[in-house]
Structure 1
């Protein structure tokens, strides 16, 4: 029960829409920034299985995922280990594949 209470804000955040800046510009402002009890490797595997065109790179324990074209990514995800799991940061790129709703759903499913 306690875990459900802790995950409720994550589900609400993942379901919320975000305001977009000017079309075609990538904002450094995260559209999703949440913590998860799951390890980085589990989240990366989950996202890779749910989304197409996932490109991963790893450095110093941090995993960076580019979703979409490797030269023109739609989303940039940083998975950072934390003391109790991982921190997930998603920044919107300039593409639109997958749609934002699909991306938020995948993040919500893979973070829990």
Structure 2
């Protein structure tokens, strides 16, 4: 009988453990960290040529748990040349020389953020997307 248990112990040492709890947790954390980035990438897909020419289709449309004033303050600190206006609870932000128009609409659980590209080119689109991503999370 001792030979069986020592053999079985040797087999366990050579065979990798099937317990996946130690590797699952870091994978799940990584996955959860990538979800907001994937969401923003999906929301920021390239518009069709017709909507890009008119400038009316949003390049980013995302919901955030943060209140509108917190997002507005964050964008103001991260981007240069922002101008804010408010009407009926909605905050409108113009970025750059009419390059982007950000609309922050309060919702029951935070805010809805809509970004429409304007006619200018400052800041670069990558910088704008990064600022939005940092401020809505």
Q: Point out the structure with the larger helix share.
A: 2
Structure 1 residue 27 and structure 2 residue 52: aligned?
no
Q: Point out the structure with the larger strand share.
A: 1
* Inter-CA distance 98–25: structure 2 relative to 1 (3 Å threshold): same
- The residue correspondences of 1:25-64 to structure 2 (distance < 5 A) are 25-64=53-92
- The residue correspondences of 1:1-112 to structure 2 (distance < 5 A) are 5=32, 8=35, 10-15=36-41, 18-19=46-47, 21=49, 25-69=53-97, 73-112=98-137
How many aligned residue pairs are there? 106
TM-score with structure 2 setting the length? 0.68
Q: RCO greater where, 1 or 2, for CA within 8 Å and sep 6 or more?
A: 1
Shift of 1:6: 9.3
TM-score with structure 1 setting the length? 0.82
CA radius of gyration, larger in: 2
Unaligned runs of 5+ in 2: 1-27
**Misfit runs of 4+, over 4 Å:** 4-7
Q: CA RMSD in A?
A: 2.5
Shift of 1:19: 4.6
C-alpha distance in structure 2 between counterparts of 1:49 and 1:7, whole Å: 25
Unaligned runs of 5+ in 1: none
